[in-house]
Amino acid sequence: MMYKKIFNKHARHNLCYGDFSQEPEYENGKGRVYSFNDLKVLSDLRKNLGIINEKLKDLMCEGNLYYNTDKCYIAKIQKKKL
């Protein structure tokens, strides 16, 4: 939470995944968390990553959707036209 205030997001939509589910408490700095146990395909992917490499075992993850890449990004990078 920035500056101990609640702000609307204008850069991206994101989802957090972990070993538990959590409803958001934005005023306490806690966002929503989805449990891997409720998401079979993602849970299976997570298990298989641990088989590939021990360092990838039991990772938590966050997914981000930058819905306007002209204005939203993590770091300024040069865009290439495809």
Average pLDDT on 37-48 reads 96
Question: What's the pLDDT tens digit per position in 56-76?
Answer: 999 999 988 888 878 777 665
Question: What's the pLDDT tens digit per position in 7-35?
Answer: 667 778 889 999 999 999 988 888 899 99
The answer as to whether 14 is a domain residue is: yes
How many separate domains does the chain show? 1
Task: Please report which confidence band the pLDDT of residue 79 belongs to, taking 50, 70 and 90 as the band edges.
Answer: low
The answer as to whether 75 is a domain residue is: no
Q: What are 53's two structure tokens? A: 């490499």
The answer as to whether 7 is a domain residue is: yes
The answer as to whether 19 is a domain residue is: yes
Strand residue runs (E) in 1-82: 13-18, 33-35, 61-65
pTM for the full model?
0.69
The answer as to whether 29 is a domain residue is: yes
Chain centroid to CA 5: 21
The answer as to whether 38 is a domain residue is: yes
